Amino acid sequence: MNTFSFNITLYPLYIPLILLLFVGNFTPGPNNIIASYSGFHFGFKKTIPHILGVTFGWPSLILAVNFGLVIIFIEFPIVQRTVEILGSLFLIYLAYTLIKVKSIEEKEVQKPMTFLASYFFQFINPKGVVTAIIVVSQFIDTGENFIQDTIVVFTLTLTSAFLSISTWAIFGKYLRSLLSSKLSISLFNYSMASLLVLIVVLFWIK
């Protein structure tokens, strides 16, 4: 009788995955910085599309890598390199746009990230692509535990993505009440932009 069941003995092996996702998702990164910026300028409610885009986009990237994208990257390294370059250029452009808002009153000339933009950004986010490859290669067995590992990894990545991106959006929203002057808002914007640029630099010198 062939029935699908979870192998309880494998659960301890997911502890390193949980730690990796915690560090990778809760530490400053492009998604979190954008969420904090959006929560600061537009509030949590208008940041929800970005939150949902990351929540579903990141696990979708995991599945894409899991079901074949990693093979393409291995066979054609230029494809992965192209994705990394495009993602880096996008982050630099995004950093430039972050410093354009000088006060909260000017937020009408800017728009929070849409669901689709946030969702598809996950596929060109250099940090996200590399992390996805690590997660799939290290925590998903290609043998008899493939389905179980895929379900567990998908669930954990979706949960961690939602919790981290929501936390950073809330952080940005409440930080707004503390920063009301044009100088403080400008410093916040430049800080977020600088962090994005720093992420790009650190990625390429790894």
Would you kindly state where each structural domain of the chain is located, as residue ranges? 20-204
Using H for helix, E for strand and C for coil, what is the string for 63-89?
HHHHHHHHHHHHHCHHHHHHHHHHHHH
Q: What does the angle CA 113 – CA 203 – CA 114 come to, to the nearest 5 degrees?
A: 5
| Percent of the chain residues past pLDDT 70, beyond the cut | 82
Residues near 77 by Cβ (< 8 Å), separated by ≥ 6? none
pTM as predicted: 0.73
pLDDT single digits (tens) 34-68: 898 889 888 899 999 999 999 999 999 999 888 88
Per-residue pLDDT at 108: 44
